[in-house]
């Protein structure tokens, strides 16, 4: 699925972009870097306060006269996504888009086998898969109207390696991220046949320092204390001595550690993504850990879900957070 390098978007100045999940993490950093390069941006998120912070940062850092708008939108709701499209077209006065970043995502909803309440599982799947699907449905026609369009869909290392370790079920997130990866790769063939000036990029981040853990807990209405207690007990922790407040604090601490101890910052991740678009590379691995895991899975797929496979990754200096949490 090679695309002509002549089609690479080397300059974002004057372009029009959409970023979902722009309130925090990689979405915020993409907005900051795009506006710093003179790109007009419409971002959406479910948290308006987070978007206000993103706006303040982005507009204080750019020397360009850019238009930056914020829109409250649940990407798992198609009606919301379509309303977002109408609002941004009206506020920006545009009939086409140059870049679309389907970036919004949450975690959670671990076990398909034991979790009796389907709400958490389906919420995670809906945001991570349908957020990309609805975003692609809504915005691809506007990308087709551009001279050169880029649809950038965020998958994960969990789009080719469906685990974060042998002790933690991770089915909802992984199922959605596999779907995003497969859809985006297949879409490139479709685009080559029917809209060759548009490229679909699949982004596969490793461990990136974002607030996804904290945001996911909030999106699910707080930590799943019962599941957390069960997981800790299975690992030998004396959970009988832990109160609900203790477990809530532990969940918050894990989310903060995930953000603060990551080997790749959200800022670095956004620059990797934008550089790949400049070079018109459709397959974007973000982080040395993502590249290493991709290599290991390809070398020995039969062993990918055995306990020693994670040990091999850790021995290479990656995913220490998941090995000791």
Give the chain's length.
325
The whole-number pLDDT of residue 6 equals: 44
Q: Are strands 99-102 and 40-45 parallel, antiparallel or unpaired?
A: unpaired
The whole-number pLDDT of residue 167 equals: 77
Dihedral, 218, 219, 225, 230 alpha carbons, nearest 10: -130
The whole-number pLDDT of residue 5 equals: 39
Tell which phi-psi region holds residue 31, choosing left (phi > 0), alpha (psi between -120 and 50) or beta: alpha
211/126 Cα distance (integer angstroms): 19
* Contact assessment for residue 47 and residue 16, using Cβ atoms and an 8 Å cutoff: no
Scanning 93-211, the segments in alpha helix (DSSP H) are 118-125, 131-144, 171-194
228/213 Cα distance (integer angstroms): 14
Identify the three-state secondary structure at position 181: helix
DSSP label at residue 12: -
Residue 121 to residues 75, 111, 133, Cα–Cα distance (Å): 16, 8, 18
Longest dimension (CA), the chain: 63
**CA-based torsion, 237, 241, 246, 247: positive or negative:** positive
What pTM value is reported for the model? 0.93
The whole-number pLDDT of residue 143 equals: 98
Our CA angle for 226, 231, 235, nearest 5°, is 145
Which structure tokens are listed for 25?
């993490």
The whole-number pLDDT of residue 242 equals: 87
Q: Which residues of the chain have pLDDT under 70?
A: 1-8, 323-325
The whole-number pLDDT of residue 7 equals: 53
Q: Which helix (H) or strand (E) holds 205?
A: strand 198-205
Question: What is the radius of gyration, based on Cα positions, of the chain?
Answer: 20
Which structure tokens are listed for 239?
């959970």
Which of 39, 118, 27, 133 is CA-nearest to residue 78? 133
């Amino acid at each position: 699925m090679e695309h002509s390098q002549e089609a690479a978007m080397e300059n974002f100045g004057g372009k029009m972009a959409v970023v979902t999940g722009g309130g925090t993490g990689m979405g915020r950093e993409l907005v900051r870097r795009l506006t710093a390069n003179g790109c007009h941006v419409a971002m959406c998120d479910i948290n308006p306060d987070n978007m206000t912070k993103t706006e303040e940062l982005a507009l204080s850092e750019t020397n360009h006269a850019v238009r930056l708008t914020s829109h409250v939108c649940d990407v798992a709701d198609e009606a919301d996504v379509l309303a977002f499209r109408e609002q941004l077209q009206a506020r920006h006065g545009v009939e086409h888009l140059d870049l679309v970043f389907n970036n919004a995502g949450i975690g959670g909803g671990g076990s398909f086998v034991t979790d009796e309440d389907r709400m958490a599982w389906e919420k995670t799947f809906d945001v991570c898969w349908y957020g990309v699907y609805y975003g692609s449905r809504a915005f691809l026609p506007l990308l087709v109207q551009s001279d050169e369009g880029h649809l950038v869909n965020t998958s994960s290392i969990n789009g080719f390696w469906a685990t974060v370790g042998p002790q933690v079920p991770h089915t909802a997130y992984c199922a959605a991220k596999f779907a995003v990866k497969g859809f985006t790769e297949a879409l490139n063939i479709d685009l080559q046949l029917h809209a060759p000036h548009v490229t679909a990029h699949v982004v596969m981040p490793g461990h990136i320092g974002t607030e996804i853990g904290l945001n996911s807990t909030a999106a699910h209405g707080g930590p799943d204390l019962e599941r957390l207690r069960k997981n800790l007990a299975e690992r030998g922790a004396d959970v009988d001595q832990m109160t609900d407040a203790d477990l809530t604090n532990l969940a918050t601490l894990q989310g903060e550690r995930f953000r603060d101890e990551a080997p790749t910052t959200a800022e670095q991740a956004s620059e990797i993504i934008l550089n790949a678009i400049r070079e018109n590379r459709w397959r974007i691995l973000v982080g040395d850990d993502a590249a290493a895991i991709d290599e290991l899975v390809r070398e020995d797929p039969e062993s990918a879900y055995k306990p020693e496979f994670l040990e091999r990754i850790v021995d290479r200096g990656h995913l220490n957070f998941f090995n000791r949490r």
